[in-house]
Structure 1
Amino acid sequence: MTATAPTWISAFLDLAHPDYERGVVFWGLVTGYRVSSPRGEQQEFATLVPRDGDDFLRVQRLGDGRSRIHLDLHVPDPAAAAAAAQELGATVTTESEHGYVVLASPGGLVFCFVGHHGAVRPRPQSWRGGHRSLVDQVCLDIPRDIHDAETAFWQALLGWEPAASSVSADFSVLQRPEGQPFRFLLQRLGEGQGRVRAHLDLATDDRTAEVARHVALGARVRREHPRWTVLADATGSAYCITDRDPETGSLPVGPGH
């Protein structure tokens, strides 16, 4: 295992100050997870605590700027991992006295190396009517001109095996090791320039029911695709609900698929 290979990954919903309260409530209801007590010097952090397994979704109230996603990569030695990541093209922006290191990928996506760990991936949540869902994928939205370099960076940083997508030539996948909470999907955008962004995806075994549940909680449908639906959450940020199996992360196979 390389210095940068994470033992666990958490995703942070970084919420703009005006979006924080409704964003936290929305994602707590969408996931079915309990929102922890706030922490931090400004009470700006909280965790979405699953009913089983270890947490992997957290929220942060931003002092300024727009809502976004950033990633925490859990490693044994954050300082050593940051040094190795710089060799791959990352930029260190903050070395905290609390032991974590904040970096940006070559395309500008914020991520951190942290020292605390998780080990047990939560099970999918079951909903009224019997269907299940789970937040299980981070999609990196990468402008066309930097797609290849950014994809190579994340493959080297994580040390995960790449795979082609069966859905689109503009998608590729980094295979999730057993026990990790997130898959990585890398999307080539039509725009040529810009910064890399990220959004979250859910897997479900009944997309129609899951979309209806989200809309009832305040989401808005933006676009329908054959395998996924793009929504805006209660703060206006995009995310997707997909047809992938919430246990395995794979698309179903067989008649009709």
Structure 2
Amino acid sequence: MKRRPRSSVAGMATLKDVVFDCRHPASVARFWATALDGYDVAPYDEEELARLRAIGVDDPEDDPSVLVEALDGGLPRLFFHRVPEPKTVKNRVHLDLRAADREAEVARLIGAGASEVGRHEDWVVMADPEGNEFCVFPA
């Protein structure tokens, strides 16, 4: 596939966030913050804790919408949003990760709560703790 040159057309959309629907946002957010180099769960300041208390949430572990952001402030950010229904079918969108040592990274991610779903010639299909698929490729 050929890459198109970057455009500076006014009004063209740019990627801001990737949003995951999930049952327990805090734990899935922690997994992805661990999985991705240069990302961490956004810290809870007093303003954010007050916002949570105002909606009846006393513990950030029960936050219905958790943000994972790049340490350098770059995009995209990852949001993990609570939904009532469980995941029932294959993702229509997933993340592809690169790793210098694919096998070591697969083992590390399994240790962080992922599971291996399948293998292909150049990549490993995995699932996060709530079953959201993603792939790990060699760098």
TM class by shorter chain equals 0.5 to 0.7
Gaps of 5+ in 2: 1-8, 56-62
> Aligned-pair distance for 1:53?
4.3
Aligned residue number for residue 117 of structure 2: 222
Indicate whether 1:7 and 2:14 are aligned: yes
Q: SS at 1:197's partner residue?
A: coil
- Please give the residue correspondences for 1:11-30 in structure 2 after superposition, counting only pairs within 5 Å: 11-16=18-23, 19-30=24-35
Residue among 98, 104, 108 paired with 1:209: 104
**Distance change in 2, residues 1:20/1:45 (3 Å):** closer
Aligned residue number for residue 242 of structure 1: 137
Partners in 2 of 1:63 and 1:222 — Cα distance? 24
- Please give the residue correspondences for 1:133-152 in structure 2 after superposition, counting only pairs within 5 Å: none
Of stretches 225-234 and 196-205 in structure 1, the one that deviates more from structure 2 is 196-205
Partners in 2 of 1:63 and 1:229 — Cα distance? 28
Percentage of matched positions with identical amino acids: 26
Aligned residue number for residue 62 of structure 1: 82
Let me know the Cα RMSD of the aligned residues.
2.8
Query: Normalising by the residue count of structure 1, what TM-score does the alignment of the two structures yield?
Result: 0.39
Q: SS at 2:79's partner residue?
A: strand
Write 1 or 2 for the structure with the bigger share of strand: 1
Q: Structure 1 segments of 4 or more deviating over 3 A?
A: 38-43
Partners in 2 of 1:220 and 1:53 — Cα distance? 29
Partners in 2 of 1:212 and 1:57 — Cα distance? 25
Indicate whether 1:34 and 2:54 are aligned: no
Gaps of 5+ in 1: 69-140, 142-195, 246-257
Q: Deviations over 1:84-112 (max 9, x none)?
A: xxxxxxxxxxxxxxxxxxxxxxxxxxxxx
Partners in 2 of 1:53 and 1:24 — Cα distance? 17
> Aligned-pair distance for 1:57?
2.7
Query: Normalising by the residue count of structure 2, what TM-score does the alignment of the two structures yield?
Result: 0.67
- 8 Å contact kept, 1:48–1:55: no
- 8 Å contact kept, 2:21–2:80: yes
> Aligned-pair distance for 1:210?
1.0
